[in-house]
Amino acid sequence: MSMALDETPAVSARDITKRYGGVTALNGVSLDVQKGEIFGIIGPNGAGKSTLFDILCGITEPSSGSIRIMGTEMRGIAPHLIARSRVARTFQRTAVFAESSVLENLLFGRQTSFRHGVLGRIIGSSTYAEDQREFQNLVEEVLALIGLDGERNRKAGVLAYGVQRRLAIGVALMSDPKIMFLDEPAAGMNGRETADFIALIRAIAPGRTILIVEHDMAVIRQLCGRALVVVDGKPVVVDEPHLVLRHPEVVSAYLGADDD
Amino acid sequence: MAKFSSIGTEMAIQDIGTVVAKRQTSAVDNNASGRMVREIIYVVCAVAGIAAFGFSFSDPFVVTLAGYTCAFALFALSINVILGGVGEVPLGQCLFFGIGSYGAAIGMGKAGLPFEVAVLIGLVLSVIWAAIIGTITLRLTGAYFSIVSWGLTGVAMVAANNLDDLTGGPLGLFGFPPIGIGPLELGDPQTYFLMTATILLASILFLVAVRRSPFGAAMESVRQNPHLARSVGVDVARIRLKAFMLSAPLAALAGALSVPYTQIVTPEVFSVANTVDGLLMVLLGGARLVIGPVIGAAMFTLIPQVLNLDPNVRILVFSSIIILIMMFAPGGLHQLSVALRERFGRKKDVDGVR
Amino acid sequence: MELLAQTLVNGLVLGAGYAVIAVGLTLIFGIVGIANFAHGAFFAMGGYACYLLTARGLNYFVAVPLSVVIVAIIGALTEWIVIRRSLYGDSHHGSLIVTFALGQAAVAGLILTFGPDPLPVPSPVGQSTLRFLGIFVTSQRAFIFVCSLLVLGALGLWLRLSIKGQQVIAVAQNARGALYSGIDVPWIRAIAFVVGVAAAGLAGALLAPITTIYPTMGNGALIVGFTVVILGGMGSIPGAMLGALLIGVANALFETYVSVSWTPALGWGLVIATLLFRPQGLLGQVQQHRH
Amino acid sequence: MSYIDRRMALFAVGTVVAATVVFAHAPVSAADAVRIGLALPLSGAAATYGQDLQRGAEYAAELINQRGGILGGRKLELVYEDEKGTPQGGVAAVQKLMSVGRVKAITGGTNSSVVLAESSVTKGRILQVNAGAQADAITEQGSPWLFQINNTVSLNSEAFNAYIVKTLKPKTVAYMGENSEFNKTVLEKLKESLKAAGIELLSASTYDAETNDFTSILTKIKASNPDMLYVADAYPARAAQLWKQVRQLGGFPTEVMSPGVVTPGMLKPAEGAMNGVYTGEIFMATDPGSEGKEFIENYQKKFNNLPGKGELVIFEAINLIASAMDKAGTDSDYGKISKVIREGAWPSPRGSLRFDEKGRARAPYFYIQRVDNGNVVQVERMKSN
């Protein structure tokens, strides 16, 4: 990984290892993701991809290793603080706030940048008005991007699965993140939804660094400049997707894993 | 701007449990203003209702019972700040109820303070304790919070039993001077009812405002999905703690307001039975609504009075209802109504798509 | 000196009783992932089952195992009808409320059927006591002590040696992993729940002759159980045993040398200390806030 | 508001209305009858006591009405309200009796906290006669229209302690008891009397209601080996358990139980463990004085078992209310009624009752008892003052 030495990488991890009791979930994983890159992480079920994600955005503490985001060490920093430093993450399951409307979901995505309090809300203070205006502009923008303009008052839980996925990205976008971690964002999407999704990612990519864990190789191939393969918690190869996919270990791993 | 305010209302309305999923954005504006009006009407009606009941009924039994019900509804509200707010189960909430009662009783009886001052002290103490307990337990799993807060009520009861000089021991504190707030004499049934009812209404309006504020949004996101909330920058543990510290004084206030009714404060106020009653009220009325607990409280107090139920039968029946609700409609009766509306709504969409 | 020795013995015997309650509780928490607030109710049911059987003229030593079976059956039904639904429902705190409500309902039911007043359960070894070097233990307590050791030992062996036991441990460590490796997790959870409440029932039947039985007898047991489990570490079986002995001895010492009336607060004092300085408990793993 | 919510609100309102209607139209049978309200624990933990008192009250009213009622032929009518054994319940019950039941006097009372709560409602508004509850605090403030039938704890203790120091004469005493409202008074009184008689109190251990294992306490007491063990616990099964554990440890030279708590319900589960224990009581159904014979016999005829203390005190309470109203010639001039009560001497199965300025009656006789193979036998019948 020796490209663009002049720049500090957006995300850089040094031999991350994670053990649960006896089990070793991750073993010496390192990666450097440059600013503006769309970086894929692939591997069979239970290979430790999600664990790696959780560690990269601070939800889980690694047993050993170091994580730097924009050059600053992230170990020991609370996840919500990492999130506030314009790092966003979407989840495999529980992607959205199912009981709330699309608008409320986006509001929840924005909440931490609001400056007004309970009192401000009651008396309708000027900061409250400002917050409203900012949110209003942003929300229209995001709704347009994720194509949910007409659905704004629908309850998130009742939306089609693929649509929920797009909403999840929208929630992440509300904090205008510089770095985005997308955990199997296209899982369970049909062909058309996947196409829309790829377009969406392309649209939001400029000015952001995006990491994607994904099963669907088509997505990885079309979006990612580079991809890391993890098998049984060990890094196998980092390279351009089409090369990665021919790698013998990867092939065998997938053949092994696809029957579950 | 107008559109945005509709979002505020959207959330607010959901608080009051009247989310009517809108289909076109064009409908937003007039709906919004319409709702504003309707909400104001609700409040006016509530005030009118309170006044009407307070002044028309003279029967001290009915009126004081109603007043006591309002006080206990306040307790149910405080439980719901945790349960419906951040989705934790506050099994130890009667600790604060008791602190409020004893605060008022000790302040008046022992220290000879005026009622309102004594109550105020009780509220402050309750917040402090909430801060301590919350900091210890709320960063751990929900179970720890419920168990420990519940266990501490037992400790409180032991303390109340043994610190005779302060708490009067097992027999408790009684024989207070006439209790009043300023010129208002709470010994008088109607005054008592009007006072508790007004405080209850004020608390409801305050809680609605809280739910519409960013803090309310934070609580809601934490309740629905702590993981996701954290990933959008919410300090989950802190929100839980703040909610707990908000709920404590409400419970304490309820405890204090129950003193003019019971006229005696015994260690039994720390009994888990109190919390159970409160929880049942919340779950019956529905944890998703701000007024849910109040409805629950009304049902819970009046039904047994009318049917003259044995308390054990009451617990048996209501607990069973709770189990059924949790199994089939965890959101309480309110969720059933929402579910119905959604089924209806979804059909429409399908038609719309085709 | 003799007083101290006697106190320590009392404490250990007490702790052995606690251990049986707490192990069931911690097993359910570790495997099923719920804090079982109905545990006390099952404890009481054990006592009442034993009362009913002995009242029918059955020998106490026969009644105890039968009571355990009865409680196990009730537990199985509860798990099948209520627990799994509420647990796998979408509300994460559902299980907590449900078990709590179950407990309340059960106690109310007991009061309505048997009345609030305590009932005696005669034990064949009732009044007699064993003495050695100035220290005495009543025969019933000795019996409880032995039973606890046997049961806990058997449980330990079952977990270590049997296949089901191994699967239980696997589920405890990583449920999803266990699922991937083809273990029938719901089934294992059901087993854990039944075993857990059966243990509570056993404790109830064992203690009945000492404490007499009354509907709310479970509350005390539940409180002790939770303090022990948190102290030892939620989900850790060795932790539960250690915690039980510690709290048993601590209570005995405190009662003898400090104050009887404040003893109920002691356990929670220990719990708070634990949560402050070692939140995962003496032998437990760190619990993160996950739902 | 959404459909269901509106329905729920309506329902709530509906219940309020229903409730008020029910209360407003409470049945009024025999308009001329004198209605006496009884707030009793008819449900909850103390329900059994409530039923005892109900039986005793019914019996008293029946006899009075057979004699042709009071105030020139007006019958007594008893109105019951469940006080559920809690202060809140007590307040609700008394208010309901006064406003809905329109009663002329309030009686009942088993739990002191409940009676205290009730007395704050009745004070200065209606005549209240507390039949059973024993806490001194109830009559301490001396509310003019509040009277007490049963001995207060301190009256009982004074009588019993006198026997301990004069007759049993232990050198050293150890006390253990439940941390309950009146055991505190028991302990205070015991300290006083022992101090006065120069007897040493080695230790006083109080335990809370959940306790049922006394090994540690007894171990400790045993180590200090006192002449006498004094146990104060009103909870039958737990006390029985406690005495069994005392036996298992070999017992003590002299053993006594706080007065007024030993019942068949305690002796039976004790399975002989209480044999030899001394205690005291204000009444002995098995061995009543000349005044009690008739009451006991008739009661036994009617219910074919002996009356307990609960039945007795409520019986006396109803009689007191009825005859005082009769004598005062009014059912609502409470000042006058109270004056009559304070001045008069009132015949009862225990002998004639007199009430002091605080409204307390002192039991005419105090019985010292010992447990003898499972039953209490009379040791001495002491005339009070």
Q: B206 pLDDT band (50/70/90 cuts)?
A: very high
- Residues lower than pLDDT 50 in chain A: 1-5, 257-260
State yes or no: pLDDT of C196 exceeds 90: yes
What CATH number is given to the structural domain containing D308? Answer: 3.40.50.2300
- Verify whether the Cβ–Cβ distance B65 to D92 is below 8 Å: yes
- Residue B310 at interface with chain D, using a CB cutoff of 8 Å: yes
Residues A74 and A103 in one domain: no
Beta bridge partners of C222: none
Count of C-beta atoms within a 10 Å radius of residue A136:
16
Pair D50, D110: CB distance under 8 Å: yes
Q: Which of C29, C85, C100 to mutate to probe the B interface, most B CBs <10 Å?
A: C100
In a domain, A104, yes or no: yes
Residues D273 and D298 in one domain: no
- Residue B109 at interface with chain D, using a CB cutoff of 8 Å: no
Pair D142, D72: CB distance under 8 Å: no
Residues D158 and D137 in one domain: no
* Domain end marker among A108, A130, A158: A158
Mean pLDDT of C34-43: 92
Residue type, position C23, single letter: V
- Verify whether the Cβ–Cβ distance C105 to B279 is below 8 Å: no
Cβ-based contacts of B336 with chain D (< 8 Å): 4
In a domain, C171, yes or no: yes
- Verify whether the Cβ–Cβ distance B264 to D95 is below 8 Å: no
State yes or no: pLDDT of C92 exceeds 90: no
Q: Which residues contact B236 (CB under 8 A, 6 or more apart)?
A: A80, B222, B226, B229, B230, C289
Name the DSSP class of A61.
-
Two tokens at B318?
């209501």
Beta bridge partners of C32: none
C-alpha distances (whole Å) from B248 to each of B72, B96, D364 are 14, 6, 52
State yes or no: pLDDT of D66 exceeds 80: yes
Positive or negative: CA dihedral C107, C110, C115, C117: negative
CA distance B52 to chain C (A): 37
Beta bridge partners of A29: A16
Distance, CA of A162 to CA of A223 (rounded, Å): 18
Residue type, position D12, single letter: A
- Verify whether the Cβ–Cβ distance C180 to A20 is below 8 Å: no
In a domain, A61, yes or no: yes
Q: In this complex, which of D16, D44, D100 lies closest to B61 when CB atoms are compared?
A: D100
In a domain, C120, yes or no: yes
In a domain, A1, yes or no: no
How many domains does one find in chain A? 2
In a domain, A87, yes or no: yes
- Verify whether the Cβ–Cβ distance A122 to B21 is below 8 Å: no
CA distance C29 to chain B (A): 10
Count of C-beta atoms within a 10 Å radius of residue C117:
18
- Verify whether the Cβ–Cβ distance A108 to B217 is below 8 Å: yes
Cβ-based contacts of A60 with chain B (< 8 Å): none
CA distance B228 to chain C (A): 11
Pair D378, D284: CB distance under 8 Å: yes
Residues D174 and D206 in one domain: yes
Mean pLDDT of B46-60: 85
Two tokens at A160?
């089609």
What CATH number is given to the structural domain containing C115? Answer: 1.10.3470
What CATH number is given to the structural domain containing A246? Answer: 3.40.50.300
Q: Which of C92, C166, C171, C173 to mutate to probe the A interface, most A CBs <10 Å?
A: C173
**Which pLDDT does position D134 carry in this prediction?**
87
**Which pLDDT does position A112 carry in this prediction?**
82
Chains touching C by CB (3 or more pairs below 8 Å): A, B, D
pLDDT digits (tens, 9 = 90+) for B277-332: 898 888 888 777 888 899 888 888 777 777 767 778 888 888 888 888 777 766 55
Residues A76 and A131 in one domain: no
- Verify whether the Cβ–Cβ distance D43 to B64 is below 8 Å: no
- Verify whether the Cβ–Cβ distance D210 to C220 is below 8 Å: yes
In chain D, the percentage of residues whose pLDDT exceeds 70 is: 91
pLDDT digits (tens, 9 = 90+) for A164-188: 888 999 999 998 889 999 888 887 7
* Domain end marker among A131, A158, A185: A158
Residue in chain A closest to B238 (alpha carbons) equals: A80
DSSP-based three-state secondary structure for D151? coil
Residues A73 and A183 in one domain: yes
Cβ-based contacts of C177 with chain A (< 8 Å): 23, 46
pLDDT digits (tens, 9 = 90+) for C203-219: 999 988 887 888 888 88
In a domain, C282, yes or no: no
- Residue A23 at interface with chain C, using a CB cutoff of 8 Å: yes
Alpha helices in D198-308, H assignment, sequence order: 215-223, 236-248, 264-270, 290-303
- Verify whether the Cβ–Cβ distance B159 to C265 is below 8 Å: yes
Strand A179-183 and strand A209-213: the pairing is parallel
In a domain, C260, yes or no: yes
Cβ-based contacts of C127 with chain D (< 8 Å): 244, 247-248, 273
Q: Which residues contact D19 (CB under 8 A, 6 or more apart)?
A: B62, B302, B305, B306
Which of B270, B276, B249, B247 lies closest to B151 in space, CA to CA? B270
The residue assigned the tokens 């349960």 is B83
| Portion 42-101 of D in contact with C at CB < 8 A | 44-48
Q: In this complex, which of C173, C180, C285 lies closest to A46 when CB atoms are compared?
A: C180
Chains touching A by CB (3 or more pairs below 8 Å): B, C
Beta bridge partners of D378: D369
Q: D94 pLDDT band (50/70/90 cuts)?
A: very high
State yes or no: pLDDT of B43 exceeds 80: yes
DSSP-based three-state secondary structure for D254? strand
Pair B295, B285: CB distance under 8 Å: yes
Q: Which of B15, B232, B240 to mutate to probe the A interface, most A CBs <10 Å?
A: B232
Residue in chain A closest to C181 (alpha carbons) equals: A260
Cβ-based contacts of D274 with chain C (< 8 Å): none
Mean pLDDT of C41-47: 96
In a domain, A245, yes or no: yes
- Verify whether the Cβ–Cβ distance B306 to D22 is below 8 Å: yes
Residues D171 and D194 in one domain: yes
Residues D141 and D260 in one domain: no
Q: In this complex, which of A101, A118, A174 lies closest to B10 when CB atoms are compared?
A: A101
- Residue D247 at interface with chain C, using a CB cutoff of 8 Å: yes
C-alpha distances (whole Å) from D174 to each of B7, C181, D256, D353 are 72, 64, 10, 35
pLDDT digits (tens, 9 = 90+) for A188-239: 788 888 888 899 999 988 889 999 988 888 888 888 989 888 888 888 888 8
C-alpha distances (whole Å) from C211 to each of A178, D16, D114, D211, D273 are 65, 45, 28, 9, 15
Q: How far apart are the first and last CA of chain D?
A: 71
In a domain, D222, yes or no: yes
CA distance B341 to chain D (A): 10
Distance, CA of B216 to CA of B8 (rounded, Å): 11
Helices A126-146 & A161-173 angle (0-180, nearest 10): 140
Residues D276 and D317 in one domain: no
Residues D334 and D211 in one domain: no
State yes or no: pLDDT of D150 exceeds 70: yes
Q: B141 pLDDT band (50/70/90 cuts)?
A: low
Residues D183 and D214 in one domain: yes
The overall average pLDDT reported for chain D is 86
Question: For residue A33, what are the domain limits?
Answer: 11-94+177-257
Output the CA torsion B328→B331→B332→B337 (10° steps). Answer: -90
Output the CA torsion B191→B194→B199→B201 (10° steps). Answer: 180
Beta bridge partners of D367: D281, D381
Residue in chain A closest to C177 (alpha carbons) equals: A46
Report ipTM for this prediction: 0.84
Question: For residue D190, what are the domain limits?
Answer: 154-281+367-383
Q: How far apart are the first and last CA of chain B?
A: 34
Q: Where are the beta strands (DSSP E) in B76-181?
A: 173-174, 180-181
Q: In this complex, which of B61, B285, B340 lies closest to D23 when CB atoms are compared?
A: B61
pLDDT digits (tens, 9 = 90+) for D235-283: 887 888 899 889 888 899 999 999 988 988 888 888 888 999 999 999 8
- Residue D220 at interface with chain C, using a CB cutoff of 8 Å: yes
Number of cross-chain residue pairs from C and D with Cβ atoms under 8 Å apart: 89
- Residue A20 at interface with chain C, using a CB cutoff of 8 Å: yes
Distance, CA of A48 to CA of A27 (rounded, Å): 9
Q: In this complex, which of C109, C264, C287 lies closest to B140 when CB atoms are compared?
A: C287
Cβ-based contacts of B20 with chain D (< 8 Å): 2
- Verify whether the Cβ–Cβ distance D5 to B42 is below 8 Å: no
Pair C247, C267: CB distance under 8 Å: yes
Which of C10, C17, C7 lies closest to C225 in space, CA to CA? C17
Strand B184-185 and strand B180-181: the pairing is antiparallel
Do chain C and D touch: 3 or more Cβ pairs under 8 angstroms?
A: yes
Hey, where are the domains in chain B?
1-56, 62-259, 315-354
Q: Which residues contact D102 (CB under 8 A, 6 or more apart)?
A: D26, D28, D35
Residues D107 and D189 in one domain: no
How many domains does one find in chain C? 1
Q: Which of A121, A140, A149 to mutate to probe the B interface, most B CBs <10 Å?
A: A121
